[in-house]
Amino acid sequence: MNEQVRPYGDRTDDGMVQMSFTLPVSASPEAKEAAAQLVAKMGFEKVLVCHMEQITSGYTLFYVYAKTSHSIDMSSIHVPKLENPVLAFDAINSFIEKEIGRKIVVIGACIGSDAHTVGIDAIFNMKGYAHDWGFERYPMMDAHNLRAQVAVEDLSKRVAELKADAVLVSRVVTQRDEHITEMKKFLEALSQTPDVPPHLIKICGGPRISHEEALSWGFDAGFGPGTKPSHVGSFIIHELKKRLG
């Protein structure tokens, strides 16, 4: 069934879009006209540059309102996503005890030069995130948060030493897709490290990471903003059950 959708601003299906961008020019009438012509070249109509502000010498921010004639058929959209049920704290611990029969070992770290531990801490720290307890509070998890700036070689060795069931890596800095390069380096280091458990579940996360991208890089799952510990924990236990049989 065809389900065409289009953005709207004033009324349903009017195609109106608000966007913002920066041009490397000083604010001026010519700069405003350049922004309008740029948006028109993108295929938009009824272009209105509603705000222009010079943010520093030689750089100007624009807010633009414009109309698109394009729409998208929602029934044609297919996105890889996690299908496992999301369980709560007690249910996850009970599942591990009954279905795995031992504590599971989970390691997390921010790799490379990244010093932003907000995401990995939200998943591991006992207090958790958004009223959702972190892994360190789960009695059936042996959780190890190695924190920030961990070399991929060191993390790989710890995975082998602790016989980890799952490893979570986080990378925030994204200039020139640096986070993707670092994620792939970790998988390469892991493949060259002896005694890594064959059933190891590899997970990555960050503000600009999607599950689909994570799969394309060779991870088993990817999590983005708003992810709670129970979301990650539920994936780990169901995937681990499959791998251990």
Task: Produce one character per residue of 186-199: b if its CB has 16 or more CB atoms within 10 Å, e if not.
Answer: bbebbeebeebbee
Active site residues: 127
Helix axes 152-161, 178-191, angle to 10 degrees: 40
Say if CB 157 and CB 192 are below 8 A apart: no
User: Which two three-digit tokens encode residue 180?
Assistant: 């993707």
For residues 209 and 179, what is the distance between their CA atoms, to the nearest angstrom?
9
For residues 186 and 49, what is the distance between their CA atoms, to the nearest angstrom?
44
Say if CB 236 and CB 201 are below 8 A apart: yes
Quickly count: other Cβ atoms within 10 Å of residue 161's Cβ.
Answer: 11
Say if CB 173 and CB 114 are below 8 A apart: yes
Beta bridge partners of 68: none
Q: Where are the alpha helices (DSSP H) in the chain?
A: 29-41, 89-95, 118-124, 152-161, 178-191, 211-217, 229-244
Say if CB 47 and CB 15 are below 8 A apart: no
